[in-house]
Amino acid sequence: MSTEAVRDSAATPAPPPAPAEVPGFAKDGGKNVKMKDGKEKNVVPVSTAEYGCKDWKWWLNNTTVTLGMQNVFDEDPPFVAGSFENGYDESLATIKGRFWYVGLKKRF
């Protein structure tokens, strides 16, 4: 074998492998759907993202629910003699009484 033949065979790369086909999906991004008559039809979705809201757990992904309550026993704020306006320390207590709240945060 000559050096030219060795050089030519080394310069020719092997062909790339063929992509593996995925059952049910067409090459152009559509989806093969079996029709009632038994034939398959290529259907291209309107959106490339497929949303799977199969059950209630899917809706709770990336969701934070916050429940809370302030002044559970509905007590009056403690009296403070040095307070000029309200008779209590506004930085420590409030006169609203019992206060509950619910928060819902969903990240997309």
Show me where the domains of the chain are located.
22-51, 60-108
State the pLDDT at residue 48: 52
State the pLDDT at residue 66: 95
Cα–Cα distances in angstroms (integers) from residue 81 to residues 78, 86, 87, 90, 92, in the given order:
10, 10, 6, 13, 14
**pLDDT for residue 101 is more than 90:** yes
User: Do 32 and 42 touch, CB atoms closer than 8 A?
Assistant: yes
State the pLDDT at residue 57: 80
State the pLDDT at residue 105: 94
State the pLDDT at residue 93: 79
State the pLDDT at residue 94: 79
CA distance 11 to 6: 9
Per-residue pLDDT tens digits for 4-58: 555 555 566 777 777 666 665 545 566 777 888 888 887 766 655 555 666 778 7
CA distance 26 to 47: 16
Span between the terminal Cα atoms of the chain, in Å: 64
CA distance 2 to 8: 10
Reduced DSSP (H G I as helix, E B as strand, rest coil) percent helix, strand, coil of the chain, to 5: 10, 25, 65
CA distance 25 to 33: 9
Per-residue pLDDT tens digits for 43-91: 766 655 555 666 778 778 889 999 999 888 988 888 888 767 778 877 7
State the pLDDT at residue 10: 57
